[in-house]
Chain A
Amino acid sequence: MRGLFAFGLFTLIISITAVLPAQANWQEIEQRADGQTVYFNAWAGSENINSYIRWVAQRVKQEHGIELKHVKISDTANVVSRIIAEHASGREQGGSVDLLWVNGENFRTLKQAQLLYGPFAELLPNLALTDQQSASLQYDFSEPVAGMESPWGGAQLTFYYDSERINQPPRLMAQLLEFAKQHPGQFSYPAPPDFYGTTFIKQALWEWMDDPALLQLPANPERFQQHTAALWRFLDQLHPLMWRAGQVQPNGAGQMQQLVNDGELTLAFTFNPNEPASSVEQGRLPDSVRSYTFAGGTIANTHFVAIPFNSSVPQAAMVVANFLLSPEAQARKADLNHWGDPSILDMRKLDAEQRALFVAQQHPAMLSAEDRARTLAEPHISWLELLEAEWLRRYGK
């Protein structure tokens, strides 16, 4: 099996070599990367992430002579729009984006419009330290990754609550409704098409569907209403019991966190399982916060970095992507005092020295190992559009 895989990888590399003959050799890539400037477009809503990226910039400068510039963005969709606009005006080279933090819908848009450089991920030496067989690295929201983006971190829908205000948080959607009845106004979720909002809807659908396995298949528009009827019944009941009676919804995970810190919400969720812990450490959440997942598991996925088709420095962008996958960078990323984003590396593939970089993390607000193991795959991407449109029709006003 292993041999077969190696053979597969070999053929893949051969085929890539055929496509990108000049760049197959990693050393050569590193040489060409020296002195290049990389514009890294990454969501910048969190100072600990920004500060982590500043550290990455220092390191790649030292190691590879690369100038890494963090282009601070508030919404990745805007960058996708920009890349599309560049393509629209015939900018085939010298694009404004060299590296992009991306996943899901935005990745699919770029990939299907053929606006990405690659495949390049298999060229990165450090990719071998990840579990390349895992579905979450092969598919990004059911879209085949196919080497067009390189993994950066793992994410899992993680709920957290203020244990000063409730003892037993809801672990089923039905319990969530009970919770909302007892504590009106203390829960909410961002309105789709916000990424966090759609994830919550997908999570709820998973629990309310008779046969959740269907979510892995393309959605059938004709039977969509039937499949989602229970979900809408649930939301119909939930909305009036939410924060500000559901007439305003938070604009994202950031605002939800702020609202928990303010005491307006008791229960909220995020996509980084370590975020509640690192936020407690950094004074953004009260000490009494605890995190958990739902009984049947929660949706998990991977976030990636990709290189747009018109980057003029793909070599340097690849070197940065490779550095992001290094044990050194992943260990610092996982550290609660820095970012606290879980490592994407497969610990079994690291040697003792590399493993030692990862300090064992203990924090009362951290997700337990059992909860961390209970993951659900992202539904097929075709569900997203239907869910968003129907949600908007029902609750947009």
Chain B
Amino acid sequence: MTRIDGRWLGVFPALTLLVMLVPLLSGLWYTLLPSFGYLPSLGFEQWSLQAWQALFAHPLTLQASGLSVLSGVLSSGLALISALYVLSHCYHRASWRWLQRAFAPMLAVPHVALAIGLVFLLAPSGWVLRSLSPWLTGFSYPPLWQSVQDPYGLSLVLALWLKELPFLLFMLAVAAGQLPLNASLAVGQSLGYSRAQVWWRVIIPQLLPRVRLPMLAVLAFACSVVDVAQVIGPTKPPTLAVLVWQWFSHSDVSFRLMGAAGALWLLALIGSVLLVYLWLERHYLRWSLDWQLNGRRHRPRSDKPAGLLVAAAMLLAGLAMVVMLIWSFAWRWRFPDMLPQTWQLGTWQQAAEFAYSPFSQSLLLALSSVLLSLLLCIGCLEYELHSDRARALRWSKLFYLPLLVPQVAFLFGLQVQLLKWQLDGRWLGVIWAHTVFVLPYVFLSLADNYRGFDQRYMQAAVSLNHRPLLSFVQIKLAMLAKPIAVAIAVGFSVSIAQYLPTLFIGAGRFSTLTTEAVALASGGDRRITAVMVILQSLLPLLVFSLAQLTTPKRVFKPFSWTFHVRT
């Protein structure tokens, strides 16, 4: 394709920006106005600072803010450090392929599913203590521990860490694929540094800027997540995002003004956290220069601790899923029995009666939003090839904005906007809302590999057959099949996990596996919750397995998505 051919591609970035920014900005606008007392439809027309005063006078605000920031920063920080640690020991070693396969399911399982599973596992009446009681612990009734929903949010940190670790590993692996790793390692090791030393001194400083956006997204998500914090987070006070969500949904409508102020306060907090991270990332290298250049050589350290860390994370996630499976077949299962006293198939039969519609709606929503996102992303990335690369890179960063802004800060405003356009409760509106969150992740997981594609394959193909479109599909897309499949899987699992957007923009008329799971989780029946959570996890797991099985076209063996080295 020549430069002239590519001009029409400008439609894609324009359309994408429109799709991403219109909901975000209008949503924020309609959150900003109420925070200053202006919500005329509910009879609030007096501009005032009352909502802000009420926010900071509220007894829970400060503590909840602290909890949000603390749990978000702690979980993301630990996830980054442990992901780097694992990577520096395992990347491209014997265990790496195995590790990638094992982490894929953890990437697929929705956050809230994992959180519910962890509660089933770690609560004082959870499976761990059921297995150890009474023979080891002597408990015939659950002890008075606070192993989940602890007031410091540590169990929340654990749940978030467990979910963010595979995501960051995945993003780091994609980024590492773009670096001349083997050369660096060869040079470093020939100078007497250990593998891990080369990683920390040479490779990681190059990697960090490349995973800046994923890391910012992780930080923003962890500080502002609602559903996970509701399941496993502290309650007195809850995290700020949960508190704001409670205010927004309070039946006394005047709470919405304070909710709007609280949402913007959360946005400001997250903004500061992100700025601090950027600042740290920028100065990290300078501060560590002495250490980087101290010239000390270490003997290679054992890989075992890294392996152990991974094994522990996977064991925890695996057990959380197994306990869910057991609950789904239980009839009566009391403490301290290790397994249910009586079993049944009834819960699954019950679910079969009604699960079809949420199952198909989840599938349809996910497929449409992922395909739309993929189309827009590929269009934008192609446009980059035909335009000024530096400029293109700059505007594509705007795609990530929805990941950096807490959902509670713009979903309520967005709801008002979509209502005006009569788009709420309709497929188009819900697919749009999903796309806002799916597209950034698809872009994130696709862009590096896509940009790394050696365009000379295309040039060769077009010069042979003179058919750019055919070459594009048969050569480029086929060679990029693996990263595209992985991007689809990531986007798919993001769509499946959406709770607030489906509920609000769908006017409750779209029942997905996630909305069903959360609605049932508010009741008292662990068995049916388990069934719904399993169903909810099943779809993304399936898509991830398919992505794992996808192989790029065989003819072009030298290319592979993780091993790719830019030429």
Q: Which A residues contact B (CB, under 8 angstroms)?
A: 39, 41, 43-47, 50-51, 54, 69, 71-82, 84-91, 94, 96-97, 105-106, 109, 113, 165, 184-185, 191, 193, 243-245, 247-249, 251-259, 261-264, 279, 283-284, 286, 385, 392-393, 395-397
Contacts and interface: CB of A to CB of B under 8 A. Distances in A.
Contacts of A79: 508
Given A263-B125, A397-B236, A74 B522 contact: yes
A191 B524 contact: no
A73 B522 CA distance: 9
Interface secondary structure of B, over-half rule: loop
Given A44-B519, A72-B516, A96-B507, A248 B236 contact: yes
B41 interface: yes
A113 B44 CA distance: 13
Contacts, number: 183
A-B pairs, 6 with minimum CB distance? A45-B523, A88-B41, A96-B507, A254-B524, A257-B524, A262-B125
Contacts of B149: 244, 248
Nearest to A389: B59
B553 interface: no
Interface stretch (B7-15, B139-147, B381-389, B442-450): B139-147
A74 B518 contact: yes
Contact of A91 (B334, B419, B524, B526): B419
A96 B142 contact: no
In the complex, which range does the number of interface residues on chain B fall in? 35 or more
A47 B524 CA distance: 9
Contact of A264 (B124, B504, B521): B124
11 contacts: A43-B519, A46-B523, A47-B350, A71-B511, A72-B511, A77-B249, A243-B144, A258-B524, A258-B526, A259-B125, A397-B63
B42 interface: yes
Contacts of A77: 249-251
A256 B524 contact: yes
A253 B412 CA distance: 28
Contact of A73 (B125, B230, B236, B519): B519
A397 B251 contact: no
B516 A109 contact: no
A263 B126 CA distance: 11
A96 B525 contact: no
Contact of A88 (B141, B252, B354, B419): B419
A68 to B, nearest CB: 13
Contact of A72 (B59, B151, B235, B519): B519
Contacts of B151: 247-248
B42 A84 contact: yes
B524 A46 contact: yes
Contacts of A43: 519, 522
Contact of B528 (A47, A72, A279): A47
Contact of A46 (B59, B60, B508, B525): B525
B459 to A, nearest CB: 52
Contact of B234 (A113, A248, A256, A396): A248
Contact of A184 (B144, B145, B509, B525): B144
Contacts of A113: 42, 253
B24 to A, nearest CB: 18
Contacts of B125: 259, 262-264
Contacts of A193: 246, 250
A367 B395 CA distance: 66
Given A44-B523, A72-B508, 7 more contacts: A46-B524, A72-B515, A193-B250, A262-B334, A264-B141, A279-B524, A283-B332
A263 B334 contact: yes
A45 B60 contact: no
Nearest to B528: A47
A80 B251 contact: yes
Nearest to B424: A96
B334, B335, B350, B519: residue with the most chain A Cβ atoms closer than 10 Å: B519
Contacts of B520: 44-45, 47
Nearest to A82: B507
Contacts of B524: 45-46, 253-258, 261, 279, 284
Contacts of B334: 261-263, 286
B60 A392 contact: yes
Contacts of B458: none
A71 to B, nearest CB: 4
Contact of A254 (B146, B235, B353, B523): B523
B37 to A, nearest CB: 15
Interface string B237-257: 100000000101111110010
Interface in B36-77: 39, 41-42, 59-60, 63
Interface in B338-372: 342, 344, 350, 353-354
Contacts of A80: 251
A237 B412 CA distance: 40
Contacts of A109: 251-253
Contacts of A262: 123, 125, 142, 334-335
A174 B230 CA distance: 33
A323 B351 CA distance: 26
A54 B356 CA distance: 14
A87 B508 contact: no
B420 A90 contact: yes
B103 interface: no
B519 A385 contact: no
A76 B525 CA distance: 19
